[in-house]
Chains A and B, each alone.
Chain A
Amino acid sequence: MAVFGRLSDGHAETRVLAELERRRSDIGGIAFKLLLQFGLLLALLVLAVLLVDVARDGWSVLSTRLGDFLGGTLRSRSIDERLGVHQGLVGSFWIAVFTAVFSFPLGIGAAVYLEEYAPKTRVTRFIELNIRNLAGVPSVVYGLLGLGIFVKTLGGLTGGRSLLSAGITLAVLVLPIVIITASEAIRAVPDSLREGAYGVGATRWEVVRSQVFPYAAPGILTGTLLAMSRAIGEAAPLILVGAVTGRLGTDPGFFDVSALKDRFVAMPIVITEWTQNSGRDIGFASAAAAAIVVLLVFVLALNSTAILLRNRFEKQRR
């Protein structure tokens, strides 16, 4: 009570007590909080406005001729009744297949090596650093890799500007994402599980297969879903690799493997092409918006599955 001791007269004491008990209105604090809330609301609002705007623009196409639109092909005029996204869907389907076939096993394999097998040497650290750097390389630069290596140097094998080149390019693009997310999932596995398995004589691979994989599976799956959604939404590398802008001669079916070495198009390219066409033919704007809605259905389905999956398992483990 040293403070009160010095304030000898009773009046000061009452004042201090009153000051301590007073409800202070912290106007600066309230304003600051409101400002932060405003910033966050703005970010959420953007998403809402974007979704509403796109859905509204594409509604005229989606509500009247959805079936024809999904089955139709690229046309030079927006009024054409056969205008549609079928070729784009086929291209994006194969890109998803390529990421699943190439980057999932390679990415998960690399993650297992780095987390479970690799000695903590300089070489390992270099590989890890290299993967982090690859994850930060702009996607358009991966397009140059595709153009320089898969289209030009290996053109004989890939058919040049083909769906095959594009698929491999995007598989390479998402590889670091798969590795990084899988590594994080594997790192979260408690050591006690591993030690228990080693204790009963399991080999390293048996430990990974029977203990690490089951525990890390949701995390790994989340990463692969995010990687796939990234791959089907990418456009820039495809333009560099030589996706067709304009009309594509053929309309291959979904499982037409012979089309892999042909020229190709994918959903994001269809959207880009139609958006740019809207300058001369405004009808393409609503076609582009409708194509965006179709693409977003897939992308958002993949993303929200991934997020739900991760949140659910995080909650269980806590």
Chain B
Amino acid sequence: MTRFLSIDDLQTGKRRIRKEQLVRAAILFSALISVLVSALLIVSLLREGWAFIAGVDWGDTWASGWYPRRGMYDIRTLFVATMITTGIAMLVAGPIGLASAVYLAEYASERVRAIVKPVLEILAGIPSVVLGFFALFFIAPEVIGRINEDATAGSLAAAGTGVGLLTIPLVASVSEDALKAVPVDLREAAAGLGARKRVIATRVVFPAAISGIVASFIVAISRAIGETMVVFIAGGAADSAAYTHSPFEGSLTMTAAMASLAGGTDQVKGEGYTFQSLFFVGLLLFILTFVLNMIADRFVRRVREQY
């Protein structure tokens, strides 16, 4: 008698199905962990941050400086210092990063690229404490000290330069990706019209890649705002800071203020809302970088849609 193939033969074993379901559940759980992390992040920021917002005397947030252990939470001091370091960082990282990107995308031979790109990646991997050390012991005396002899040993200018060096690879790699995404047709069309290499790079490729280049700058700004250790080590202020808008003096950025407040003593001690101020500054920082990252994301997606 011939045995016909039945539907049972095509169905797989129970064990195989169960294994499949188990794996699916496990990896779905892993994916949901990231959502849980975000939720916990927002909960921890809001819980203490809100206590600060609701409880603090807002007169204390406009003082002569940031003295959290004495109940003076002048956010302006931190904000101005953050803007100064970020601005200086971008003055360093913008031109150098962009020049590197244009050179790598438009001029460099395969051999040069094969050597230079990994080296830039190594620079990107240097821990920020190392840049902090370098900013304090090299940039401050050798560079900033020469520009302005009155600059303090650690200063916002030294820290900003250090942060800038740290963000060069970021600007370079994101910009280079944008430049590389510009179709060869555009370059060839321009060359066919007799345009020189420089003209092609600056008038054809650069405008075509502008969205991505803007994105690289915004990401770098966001990164510079969030950078902590370089400013904490080389920013020239500890625990508290008087208001200043001179880059050649020491001050605390938002991040450095958080690190100073948490470090040093065993517990964050102080009057009133010292502990909560930590989370309030963190909340501001989170919102600021979140908005910048979203804008950068929008720009990056525009590049993808274009080509």
Contacts and interface: CB of A to CB of B under 8 A. Distances in A.
Contacts of B17: 203
Nearest to A50: B134
Interface string B123-167: 101111111111011100000000000000000000000000100
Contacts of A112: 27
Nearest to A285: B137
A234 B96 CA distance: 25
Interface stretch (B33-41, B52-60, B71-79, B83-91): B33-41
Contact of B33 (A46, A110, A233, A272): A110
B263 A239 contact: yes
Output the residue of B122, B223, B278 with the most chain A CB within 10 A: B122
A295 interface: yes
A229 interface: yes
Contacts of A42: 96
Contacts of A300: 122, 125
B99 A40 contact: yes
Contacts of B62: none
B198 interface: yes
B229 A40 contact: no
B121 A303 contact: yes
Output the residue of B12, B38, B285 with the most chain A CB within 10 A: B38
Nearest to B124: A303
A134 B42 CA distance: 11
Contact of B96 (A39, A144, A147, A271): A39
Contact of B31 (A36, A127, A276, A311): A127
B20 A54 contact: no
| Dominant SS among interface residues on chain B | helix
A140 B33 contact: no
B19 interface: yes
A242 B266 CA distance: 8
Interface string B1-28: 0000000000010001101100110111
Interface in A54-112: 54, 57, 105-110, 112
A139 interface: yes
Interface residues of A, number: 91
Contacts of B64: none
A131 B198 CA distance: 39
Given A39-B96, A39-B103, A110-B33, A203 B127 contact: no
B216 to A, nearest CB: 13
B44 A145 contact: yes
B304 interface: no
Interface in A225-265: 226, 229-230, 232-236, 239-240, 242-243, 245
Given A36-B103, A226-B125, A133 B293 contact: yes
B197 interface: yes
Interface residues of B, number: 93
Interface stretch (A9-17, A26-34, A191-199, A212-220): A26-34
A176 B293 CA distance: 15
A209 B174 CA distance: 33
A148 B30 contact: no
A29 B196 contact: yes
B232 A272 contact: yes
A185 interface: no
Contact of A172 (B24, B37, B121, B223): B37
A288 interface: yes
Given A40-B99, A143-B262, A205 B23 contact: yes
B264 interface: yes
Contact of A110 (B24, B30, B201): B30
A133 B291 CA distance: 10
B214 interface: no
Given A54-B130, A143-B262, A36 B99 contact: yes
Given A136-B222, A235-B127, A240-B258, A276 B233 contact: yes
B129 A242 contact: no
A207 to B, nearest CB: 11
Contact of A240 (B127, B130, B262): B262
B177 interface: no
B130 A140 contact: no
Contacts of A232: 127
Interface in B228-285: 228-229, 232-233, 238, 255, 258-259, 262-264, 278-279, 282, 285
Nearest to A107: B30
Given A110-B34, A140-B226, A140-B282, 14 more contacts: A37-B103, A43-B168, A47-B119, A57-B137, A110-B33, A140-B259, A145-B45, A149-B43, A233-B128, A240-B262, A268-B229, A276-B238, A295-B130, A303-B122
9 contacts: A57-B137, A112-B27, A132-B293, A136-B290, A137-B286, A148-B40, A176-B34, A242-B262, A268-B229
Interface of A: 26, 28-29, 32-33, 35-40, 42-44, 46-47, 49-50, 53-54, 57, 105-110, 112-114, 117-118, 126-127, 130-134, 136-145, 147-149, 172, 175-176, 179, 201, 203-205, 226, 229-230, 232-236, 239-240, 242-243, 245, 268, 271-272, 275-276, 285, 288-289, 292, 295-296, 299-300, 303-304, 307-308, 311
